[in-house]
Amino acid sequence: MSGEIIGILGLVVLFALLAFRIPVGLAMVLVGIGGNFALSLALPYLRFEPYLHQFKSLLWNSVANYDLSVVPLFILMGYLASNANLSRDLFQGVNAFVGKYRGGVAMSAIGACAGFGAVCGSSLATASTMGRVALPELRRMNYAPGFATGVLAAGGTLGILIPPSVALVIYAIIVEASILEMFQAAIIPGLIAVLFFIFAIAVIVRIKPSLAPEAVPMPKAERRIAIRRLIPVLLIFGSIILGLGLGLFTPTPAAGIGVFLIFVYGLYLRRFGEGLTVARIKESLLATAVTSGMIYFILFGAEVLKGFFSRAGLPEALASWAGSSSLDPISVVIVMLIALIILGCFMDSLSMILVVVPFLWPVLVEINGGDYVTAATAAFSMDLNELKIWFGILSLIVIELGLITPPVGLNVFIISALAGDVKMKETFKGVMPFFGIELVRIALILTFPAIALFVPRLLSG
């Protein structure tokens, strides 16, 4: 049996384990070790003992990376913001401006998801936090249940792209791209997503007014308070995004500044009986440790799995096939994106980034260096670094779709669990318009790469 066949069988086993809800990191480690043992039996020159020796340093090498220090800081920033109730202030502040329109509360939820996703960096955490904040208000205003949960599930996906984003960090490390440039490239596509989602809500409630009630303007006194509470939140979130976008500081200092500002403001809010208490700070630290540990273990599992696939020769075989095929470069990219959409029905976003991207990127590298694929760089005016950035933004947008795509749709599961009495089928129906508009955004960035590359080119030039 050839190494490539064993590699394909290992990939099938990995997907099977993930389908049975085996933890991602553990599944990767099991398949990596088991696959290498199978290789040593089928191909005696690939000895098993030397492979095992790498474990003495592999775990350390997987996580002892300065770029990864940004991950626990961004996670802590998100938990502190949530426990300080900044998500509530953000939602109510945005609602003070757009709540007077039909569907305005739903639009406020999208705006708040974007803002909180920017500081949190996690789609699942954004969906969970904003679901707790916005869902009661949407219910109180008598929004259609499926529409309300659909809006929140879709809004949660904004957390994966709007910088700072843990997913962007992981992708950048995998393909050895600049984290800062990835953050810069995500700004315009992220803003487009927010505007598209708000536009979709406006169109939906106009076509079907029964989904959203007539708007009730916020009382002036309540509106003043909401706006006053919004200003410091916008200053904190805005300083992080603007500093990253303009290249004033790199991601790790940005995360450190964000943690410090939110911590100080959270302590200040204790004067009003709110903000960060000792218990909430402890809760944030423990939750950060658990989440970061999970991510680091998944990264370790990805290294184990990558070693198996590399020894099996699977990425090289795939790259060689793509390089010798008659497909034009853009067709190869489209096939990859379709594969990501399909896999998103069965895998969570982090699994897709760590398992699938290491397969796809070598194919793009092979294409980029091939005889016919130089047409790709010529057509889009991209060098290899820009290709990393452009494909990263595209792939992460597609991975977003997995969070709202049946049968997995992790954001849908989270929001449905929070709603309790709303059937998951209704929530999936509610996210379909947003799924469609995301396809439009993908088509735009695929056709006009400058949408993603404009900010990095501007700041590097």
305's tokens: 């799995």
Place of tokens 């450190």: 256
pLDDT of residue 303: 83
Contact yes or no for 103/65 (Cβ under 8 A): no
Nearest to 124 by CA among 443, 294, 348, 320: 348
Contacting residues for 272 by C-beta, under 8 A, at least 6 apart: none
pLDDT of residue 375: 43
The DSSP 8-state label assigned to residue 269 in this structure reads G
The dihedrals phi and psi of 276, each to the nearest 5 degrees, come to: -95, 120
The dihedrals phi and psi of 403, each to the nearest 5 degrees, come to: -75, -15
pLDDT of residue 376: 45
Place of tokens 């658990």: 290
| CA–CA separation, 176 and 189 (whole Å) | 21
304's tokens: 């184990």
The DSSP 8-state label assigned to residue 219 in this structure reads P
| CA–CA separation, 14 and 8 (whole Å) | 10
| CA–CA separation, 165 and 148 (whole Å) | 25
At position 348, the amino acid (one-letter code) is D
pLDDT of residue 369: 52
Region for residue 176 given its phi and psi (left: phi exceeds 0; alpha: psi -120 to 50; beta: otherwise): left
Greatest alpha-carbon span in the chain:
78
pLDDT of residue 323: 63
pLDDT of residue 14: 87
Place of tokens 């989270």: 414
pLDDT of residue 336: 86
Peptide bond before residue 163 is cis, with ω within 30 degrees of 0 = no
The dihedrals phi and psi of 219, each to the nearest 5 degrees, come to: -55, 145
**pTM for the predicted model, two decimal places:** 0.84
437's tokens: 């508009």
164's tokens: 């700072």
- Each residue's pLDDT expressed in tens, for the chain with a length of 461 residues: 677 888 889 888 988 887 787 888 888 889 989 988 888 888 877 777 777 777 778 778 777 777 788 888 888 888 888 888 888 888 888 888 888 888 888 999 998 888 887 777 677 778 888 888 888 888 888 899 999 999 999 998 887 787 777 888 888 888 888 888 898 898 899 899 999 999 999 999 999 988 888 877 788 888 898 888 889 888 887 887 777 767 777 888 888 888 999 999 999 988 877 888 999 999 999 988 988 888 888 888 888 888 888 888 877 777 677 666 666 778 888 888 888 888 777 677 777 888 888 878 877 776 655 444 444 454 455 777 888 899 999 998 998 888 888 777 778 888 888 887 888 888 889 999 999 999 999 999 998 888 999 888 888 76
